[in-house]
Chain A
């Protein structure tokens, strides 16, 4: 057991120490601290996997064509995405949806929505196949990229994807993105009294009776759509 009395000399000593370095302490607590170890070029190369959407910076050597991509796709991807990218179950559809973005139920696919072809390479490389991400060779990723672009009629059958050709693929929806957030895009006034005519108030939508809500007591729900 320790007592407060036995702590006191320690506290005093700390106070004296703090006082002695007081004026310079703040300026000492600045980078560089020198912690860690320099990252070597070899270490960086192993983890530096990104390929930049706009200009393809970071794409590695290697290449793949549409026919090779069809083979890899059938083996690695079709179980979830369907043989022609149509999507199985709730897994994403990869092709189609052209012209649907203003429709009531837009279909957002690589062809109809994605603004950059290189992003497709980057994403397949880092995150696919879903169960074994980042295990495909660069050639296989190029081939898959070529195949999926071809499914969307964005490149011809003979297209060979590599670090030169991919950044040049023009994506149809590229120009429909704005990268500046325009919000705030509403300008509600903080009205406090008689803000709405009560006679116009009506329920236009209710969750009651829709049977879409999982239970919030008891065990986890496993409800599926009807």
Chain B
């Protein structure tokens, strides 16, 4: 949140708080008895407008709300601007659409559940967990139907993984369009997921000899469907019911979803209801008509599942500008579907010179990784960039390098280096350099 609006937001919050707090009757009586002192208290509060010492603050001189005032806790009312947002002109409606996580206001590798980006193909279904079923069939020895209670009995696993929509940054292929970190990079989020290894469930049903591919299907109106190679399913996929310690949010597939670590988000099918084992891929609509990459020669690439190494500076950014020359900590996020982030480099001169950023623990495979780099800004124009290197040695490319191979019509998998232009007044703009 910009500091200019902080005080206004605080006042709004306090006003809202006053309405909410119900003061017990016996306290009201006590307070009435102390009416003589009220003028003094009011006087102190009036002098505390700037909320700084030596004055005391009004929240320090009044009774706060009690426990279970909010039985399910919410962020401070001041954080009202920190929400998922959409680009209304991007899609025909909100049911088959995407929302963006407010990366400019987040500080860790874990995305709060209420701010995790959303992608629906037929809106968000309200699934009733006790009526939900997972069917596993096809080239298996023992076709099976599992209730949520059944699934919760299997040995459990927790892992931290990012999910990124491959269309993240897709609006920037032809040029800089969106002056906002939230909208250029907000289709990525990261959570701790808890559930059952898909390999455990596949072992439970027994795979037949010809098993090579797996179809995963959602219970939403799109009956969202993707084909996955069996090898990935047996390697590290999870069938999860929990996100950051609580049941999945409906937006994220309640009560059950697939997690395919490090691969494009849509294969992590939400509201998972069916797993079918087969010998060939299905070539569903979402892996032919969509989520394929059109190249400049008219050829298209399918089954481009991997999320390649990518990074972005989250502070400063268009939403959170600099407030005058001085020492700053440049902060950012890096991620890759290819194991761990090995290094992140930061440039303040548009990629002429780079220096190593510090990676912040924990550095986990297929998870968001935080990096920082100190920078003394002299108040002159600058171009901030970050560049990730993953443990395979792959270096995050420039947009020019990507365009040279892929042109500008491939929509998906734009993992290019982002450039933020810093103007002398500290404001930040999304630009592309040539």
Interface set of A (CB-CB < 8 Å, partner B): 29-33, 35-39, 43-44, 47-50, 52-55, 80, 89-91, 101-102, 106, 108, 110, 113-116, 119-120, 122-123, 126-127, 130, 133-134, 173, 176-196, 198, 201-208, 210, 212-214, 216-218, 220-225
> Does B124 have its Cβ within 8 Å of any Cβ on chain A?
no
The reply to whether B354 and A188 contact each other, CB–CB distance below 8 Å, is no
How far, in angstroms, from A29 to B197 measured CA to CA in the complex? 13
> Does B143 have its Cβ within 8 Å of any Cβ on chain A?
yes
User: For this complex, into which size category does the number of interface residues on chain B fall?
Assistant: 35 or more
Known: A35-B150, A223-B89. A206 touches B176 (CB 8 A): yes
B273 to chain A: which residues have CB within 8 Å?
47
How far, in angstroms, from A190 to B389 measured CA to CA in the complex? 8
Interface set of B (CB-CB < 8 Å, partner A): 1-2, 5, 81, 83, 85-89, 91-92, 95-96, 102, 104, 121-122, 135-137, 142-147, 150-151, 153-155, 175-180, 182-183, 200, 203-204, 206, 215, 217, 221-223, 225, 273-274, 276, 278, 280-285, 288-289, 292, 294, 296-306, 308, 318-319, 343, 345, 349-355, 383, 387, 389, 394-398, 401-402, 405-406, 409, 413, 421, 429-434
Distance (whole angstroms) from the CB of A55 to the closest CB of chain B: 8
Distance (whole angstroms) from the CB of A50 to the closest CB of chain B: 6
The reply to whether B92 and A90 contact each other, CB–CB distance below 8 Å, is yes
How far, in angstroms, from A123 to B122 measured CA to CA in the complex? 12
Closest to B177 in A: A212
The reply to whether A225 and B145 contact each other, CB–CB distance below 8 Å, is no
How far, in angstroms, from A50 to B138 measured CA to CA in the complex? 11
The reply to whether B86 and A214 contact each other, CB–CB distance below 8 Å, is yes
The reply to whether A186 and B353 contact each other, CB–CB distance below 8 Å, is no
B177 to chain A: which residues have CB within 8 Å?
207, 210, 212-213
A185 to chain B: which residues have CB within 8 Å?
405-406
Distance (whole angstroms) from the CB of B147 to the closest CB of chain A: 7
How far, in angstroms, from A216 to B185 measured CA to CA in the complex? 13
Distance (whole angstroms) from the CB of A41 to the closest CB of chain B: 9
The reply to whether B297 and A206 contact each other, CB–CB distance below 8 Å, is no
Distance (whole angstroms) from the CB of A225 to the closest CB of chain B: 4
B221 to chain A: which residues have CB within 8 Å?
127, 130, 133-134
